[in-house]
Each structure stands twice: as structure tokens, then as C-alpha cells.
């Protein structure tokens, strides 16, 4: 069996507000095999970043805390670690890149110095060795003329170039796990594709595992081995890219797939949107959290929460439609209203929904 680099078990994290503790994630369970990429997708406010911040234990600094659950990193529970111990892990064995590369870079130091700093702290390299290693890292992330570039400040570089620097900084210490939170959202489409290519290539080269957070199913299709779909703080579906794109089980996942730009189908190019908005987790509806927006809602959905259940292949979904007795009735009800849509995602996948 593949070695698990990360096992998040029933993670409930949130924030103390005037109304008391408000959950941002609700019993989130995720697993990442060594050398693989797990993409976490979902709309804004679904708890993706809070999940990542909890793994890094950065949530403690954002006014939040982990109420319950475990985050096993190479078998050891990060939730139980003191911040002092996390300093040895964060930026070294687990690193993170964010949406806005400028916010991750210090404007008053050269990019070479910033990469070298991480190597000096975590790998105890000499000043000269760290500088040489940082130039080499810039070369490996595809920055032309790295000797010259290493001496430049962030404002002398483009956004795409800065994100390459941030990736170089994140990989300099050869982490076991890279967490990337919307790493391409701030970049234009061409640069976005280049950065995704780079991450794919570096994953192979460095043999690391990647937890990639995105609201974009197209990005997930390009880079993921497995995809977890989050809705209102909870994982509602999880499976391989093929399972998620070719046999989606949860109506929310199906809605996300239909919302991908570039649809070919019966709607003449009009973009599908999931009706309604994601509820704040403090005001979750009864039963299934997706039921007010679900086109297949049944009576049981309003009353009882469906469990996240795995198929024999490990494809998980939390939906009452998976109950054999209920599925037939729902299928008959929805057959009349469904539209066949063909979706092409990147160069990889074509599915009919
Ligand atoms: N610092 C904070 N204080 C209070 N609530 C917060 C804080 N950060 C996040 N939240 C709440 O936690 C919930 C989950 O937020 P999170 O940032 O994880 O969403 P997300 O899935 O990353 O969304 P996005 O796609 O917009 O980045 C939201 O309801 C949000 O309002
Ligand atoms: S449990 Fe019911 S409401 Fe929830 S996603 Fe499934 S069919 Fe829709
Ligand atoms: Mg986020």
C-alpha cells in the first residue's frame, strides 16, 4: 500500500467570534499518498484555506484554532505539536505557496538572499553555499540568467517570475509536502499554464507530494492524481481525477463540472451556474448541507445528514442518492429535466453530464 504523507482525520477548525466558536471546517478527512497531488476544490468560503492553514498550524496566528481531529504528517500528529516544534517543520519539511507571490516576498531583500535565508536556517548552509544553491534553484524553476536575477529585488520582476521565485523558495529545502493555495489565480492564463507545468515537472523531479487548493476544476484536471470536493466546510466527494470527471457521484460536483467554461453542448455556450449561495457554516441547513441548492433533493435530504461513504475502489461521496432504494426514484424524477452536456477539460478528459 502507498505510504501516506498526510492524513487529516475528522478535522474541525474555526474561529472565536462574538457568537462563540464558528466552524470553518467540519470533520474534514483527507489523505495524500507520497509523491501524489491531491487537489481540494470548492467555491469561495468552503474551508479550503482553513484546512491548509490547519495543516501548517498557521490557523493559530489567524485568530482561529483546531477544535478536534488529527493531522498526521508522516505518521506524527501536527495538532499536538508546540509552535516551537512546528518551526522546524514549516518552511522545511512542509512549505506553502499562496495566490499572491508579492505578499510572500520581502521587498527589501534580493530574491537570491530570500531563498538563501531558508537554506541557512533549515539546512545550516554557509552564506556562500546557500547563495550558490539559491541561484541553482532559480535555474531549476526556469528563470533565465539566474546569476543576474538572484541579485534583483521582487519589484524588478513580473508576477509570473515572482511566483517562480516563491516556488524556488518553497522547494529549496526539498520539502516532503508542498501546499499550494490558489497558486495561479493571480496570474494571466498563459503564465498560469506555465506554472502548472512547472509544478508537475518539479513534483517528478523532487518526488514530493502536493496539496493543491483551487476553485478551478480545469486546474485540478491538469495536475491532480486525486480530487477532494469541499462544500460548506465538509468534504462531499473524493476520488481519482478519472472518477471525479467521468463518474461524479455528488450533485455539487456535477454542478461544478457543468460550470467549467468551455462547455460544448445543448446550451449554446451559456455557462451553467449552481443556483443559490454557499451558506455560512454557522447557519448550515438541516440534513444534507447542499440540499437548498440541490436539483435532486428528496425528503430524507432535509432531515438526515448523509455520511461520506467509499465505494470498493475508494471513491467517496456523501449523498443519499447512493442509497440503492432512493437512487431509482431520484433518477426517474430528474431524467426529464436533465440536459446532456459534453465537457472538454484541457487536453485530457471529455465527459458527458
Ligand atoms: N480569520 C478569520 N476569521 C473568521 N472567519 C474566518 C477567517 N478566515 C476564514 N474564515 C471563515 O472560514 C470559512 C472558510 O474560509 P476559507 O478561507 O477556508 O475558504 P476558502 O474555501 O479558502 O475560500 P476562497 O476560495 O475564497 O479562498 C469562511 O466562512 C470564512 O468566512
Ligand atoms: S443528499 Fe440529497 S440534497 Fe444532498 S446532494 Fe444528495 S440528493 Fe442532493
Ligand atoms: Mg482560500
Q: How far is the CA of 181 from the centre of ligand 3 (A)?
A: 7
Q: Check pocket membership of 283 for ligand 1, CB cut-off 6 A.
A: no
The residue among 198, 229, 260 that closes a domain is 229
pLDDT for the residue numbered 326 = 65
CB 343 within 8 A of CB 263: yes
Same domain, residue pair 203 and 68? yes
Q: Are 170 and 137 spatial neighbours (Cβ–Cβ below 8 Å)?
A: no
Q: Does residue 11 contact residue 27 with C-beta atoms inside 8 Å?
A: yes
* Same domain, yes or no: 220 and 293: no
Same domain, 311 and 170: no
* Assigned domain for 241 exists: no
| Domain range for 85 | 4-229
The predicted pLDDT at position 100 comes to 85
| Residue 328 alpha carbon to ligand 2 centre in Å | 14
Atom nearest to 297 CA in ligand 2: 3
Ligand nearest to the CA of 299: 2
Same domain, 51 and 106: yes
- The pLDDT value recorded for residue 19 is 82
Task: Quote the cell numbers at residue 225.
Answer: 492524481
**Same domain, yes or no, for 176 and 255?**
no
- In terms of domains, do 133 and 265 share one? no
188 and 62 in one domain?
yes
Question: Looking at the domain assignment, is residue 287 inside a domain?
Answer: yes
Sequential pLDDT tens for the chain (353 residues) = 789 999 999 999 999 888 888 999 999 999 999 999 999 999 999 999 999 999 999 999 988 999 999 999 998 999 999 999 999 999 999 999 988 888 889 999 999 999 999 999 988 999 999 999 999 999 988 899 999 999 999 999 998 899 999 999 999 988 999 999 998 888 888 888 888 988 898 888 888 999 999 999 999 999 999 999 999 999 999 999 999 999 999 999 999 999 887 654 445 556 788 888 898 888 899 999 999 999 999 999 999 999 999 999 999 999 999 887 666 555 554 443 443 444 444 444 444 44
Based on the structure, what is the number of domains in the chain?
2
Could you tell me the distance, in angstroms and rounded to a whole number, from the CA of residue 23 to the centre of ligand 1? 10
Nearest atom in ligand 2 to the alpha carbon of residue 302 is 3
Unique residue bearing C-alpha cell 467554461: 261
111, part of any domain: yes
Q: What is the pLDDT of residue 325?
A: 63
Residues 217 and 166 in one domain: yes
- Whether residue 278 is contained in a domain is answered as yes
Measured in Å, residue 26 CA sits from the centre of ligand 3 at 16
**Is the residue at 121 inside a domain?**
yes
Residue 278 and residue 142 share a domain: no
| Residue 30 alpha carbon to ligand 1 centre in Å | 18
Reading the block at residue 21, the C-alpha cell is 466558536
Residue 76 lies in a domain: yes
CATH number at residue 213: 3.40.50.300
Please state, in angstroms and rounded to a whole number, the distance separating the CA atoms of residues 193 and 196: 5
pLDDT on residue 264 = 47
In sequence order, the β-bridge partners of residue 40 are 213, 228
Same domain, yes or no: 164 and 265: no
Ligand with an atom nearest the CA of residue 45: 1
Count of CB atoms situated within 10 Å of the CB of 33: 16
Beta bridge partners of residue 229, listed in sequence order: 41, 237
Q: Is 44 in the pocket of ligand 1 (CB under 6 A)?
A: yes
Domain boundary among 195, 229, 263: 229
Q: Would you say residue 266 lies in a domain?
A: yes
Both 254 and 224 in a single domain? no
Looking at 184, 199, 229, which one is the last position of a domain?
A: 229
| Residue 234 belongs to a domain | no
Residue 155 and residue 138: Cα distance in Å, rounded?
Answer: 16
Residues 310 and 192 in one domain: no
User: Cα separations (Å) of 220 from 110, 182, 207, 258?
Assistant: 33, 11, 19, 14
- Ligand 1 pocket check for 15: Cβ under 6 Å: yes
Distance between CA atoms of residues 24 and 248, nearest Å: 25
Ligand nearest to the CA of 43: 1
The closest residue, in CA terms, to atom 29 on ligand 1 is: 45
- Rg over alpha carbons for the chain, rounded to the nearest Å, is 21
Amino acid at each position: 500500500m502507498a505510504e501516506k504523507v498526510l492524513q487529516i482525520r475528522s478535522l474541525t477548525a474555526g474561529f472565536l467570534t462574538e457568537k462563540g466558536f464558528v466552524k470553518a471546517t467540519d470533520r474534514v478527512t483527507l489523505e495524500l499518498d507520497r509523491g501524489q497531488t491531491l487537489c481540494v476544490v470548492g467555491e469561495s468560503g468552503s474551508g479550503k484555506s482553513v484546512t491548509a492553514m490547519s495543516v501548517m498550524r498557521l490557523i493559530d496566528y489567524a485568530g482561529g484554532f483546531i477544535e478536534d481531529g488529527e493531522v498526521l504528517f508522516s505518521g506524527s500528529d501536527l495538532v499536538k505539536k508546540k509552535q516551537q516544534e512546528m518551526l522546524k517543520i514549516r518552511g522545511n519539511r512542509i512549505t506553502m505557496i499562496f495566490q499572491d507571490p508579492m505578499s510572500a516576498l520581502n521587498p527589501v531583500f534580493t530574491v537570491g538572499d530570500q531563498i538563501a535565508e531558508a537554506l541557512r536556517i533549515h539546512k545550516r548552509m554557509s552564506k556562500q553555499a546557500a547563495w550558490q544553491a539559491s541561484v541553482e534553484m532559480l535555474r531549476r524553476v526556469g528563470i533565465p540568467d539566474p546569476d543576474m536575477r538572484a541579485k534583483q529585488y521582487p519589484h524588478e520582476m513580473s508576477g509570473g517570475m515572482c511566483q517562480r521565485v516563491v516556488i524556488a523558495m518553497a522547494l529549496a529545502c526539498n520539502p516532503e509536502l508542498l501546499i499550494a493555495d490558489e497558486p495561479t489565480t493571480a496570474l494571466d492564463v498563459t503564465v498560469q499554464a506555465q506554472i502548472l507545468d512547472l509544478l508537475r515537472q518539479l513534483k517528478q523531479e523532487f518526488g514530493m507530494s502536493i496539496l493543491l487548493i483551487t476553485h478551478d476544476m480545469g486546474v485540478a484536471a491538469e495536475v491532480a492524481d486525486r480530487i477532494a470536493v469541499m462544500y460548506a466546510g465538509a468534504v462531499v466527494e473524493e476520488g481519482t481525477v478519472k472518477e471525479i470527471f467521468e463518474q461524479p457521484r455528488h450533485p455539487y460536483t456535477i454542478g461544478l463540472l457543468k460550470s467549467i467554461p468551455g462547455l460544448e453542448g445543448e446550451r449554446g455556450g451559456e455557462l451553467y451556474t449552481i443556483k443559490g449561495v454557499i451558506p455560512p457554516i454557522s447557519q448550515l441547513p438541516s440534513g444534507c448541507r447542499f440540499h437548498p441548492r440541490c436539483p435532486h433533493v428528496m425528503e430524507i435530504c432535509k432531515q438526515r445528514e448523509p455520511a461520506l461513504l467509499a465505494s470498493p475502489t475508494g471513491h467517496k461521496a456523501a449523498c443519499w442518492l447512493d442509497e440503492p432504494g432512493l437512487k431509482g426514484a431520484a433518477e426517474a424524477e430528474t431524467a426529464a429535466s436533465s440536459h446532456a452536456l459534453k465537457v472538454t477539460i484541457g487536453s485530457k478528459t471529455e465527459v458527458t453530464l
